[in-house]
Amino acid sequence: MEEKKRIILPCIAVCEGDISPRVITCGDPARAEKIAKMLDDVKCLAKNREYHTYLGSWKGVPVTVSSHGVGEGGAVIGFESLCRAGAKVIIRVGTCGGMQKEVLEGTIVIARAACREDGVTEKMLPLSYPAAADADVLKALEESAEKLQIETRSGIILTQALFYPGLLESKILLYRKAGVLAMENEAAGLFVVASLHGIKAGAILAADAPAFELVGVERYQPDRSMVARAVEQEIEIALDAVIHVQIER
């Protein structure tokens, strides 16, 4: 019988079955490498453009780490490819800008859902469909944070298409009034892609400064040591959480 040809998935440059069902994803390839170095028996599967993918294990459980770059368009390519490659649980580990006065530098935010101002997911599903984190992933992240005694805040975030302020600026105060905790650029895409594939997804974010629209770009002066510490903590939370989410066999 002729062996079935393995198809390399676009952009992430891995094949179906190459990755583990449990995935940690992040924007920065350097952060992906940092996370990968924390795993046991780690190996690099591929490095293509902003998509760097590693396979290893955490406490004996296989875990994949993959970067997706900055911005929803490219990130959705990565999320879609990861789902097609065999992901069953994906947790995004990233950074965000705070939108509430209590979300300061170093605050860790666990996303319950994301407002879809990303400019991409509206091409995939009507905007009336919510971009929501999976309940099991949300619970795992919150329980891991509690177990590790790391303070976090859970709530709604905003995913927007632009990094710098733009036409959405007039809506930011309204979103803040509605209790939106923070702003970032990729989580809504992850949640929508995960819903379309029937897999579980979540996101945990370290605030690096207030959102540009609230303070101005010139006041973006994060305390790098505080942010670095928060990123280390959220990685620890995500790794503990991703191995405890139950997946279907």
Residues labelled as active-site residues: 208
Listed residue (153, 143, 155) closest to 246, CA to CA: 143
One-letter amino acid for residue 223 of the chain: D
To which residue do tokens 């998935």 refer?
A: 9
**Residues 135, 177 contacting (CB under 8 angstroms):** no
**Taking the CA of residue 236 as centre, how many other CA atoms within 13 Å lie in the half-sphere pointing to its CB?**
15
Torsion of CA 49, 64, 240, 156, to 10 degrees: 50
Q: What is the CA radius of gyration of the chain?
A: 17
Vertex 118, ends 217 and 135: CA angle to 5°? Answer: 110
Q: What is the Cα–Cα distance from 157 to 127, expressed in whole angstroms?
A: 16
How far from the centroid of its chain's Cα atoms is residue 45's Cα?
Answer: 20
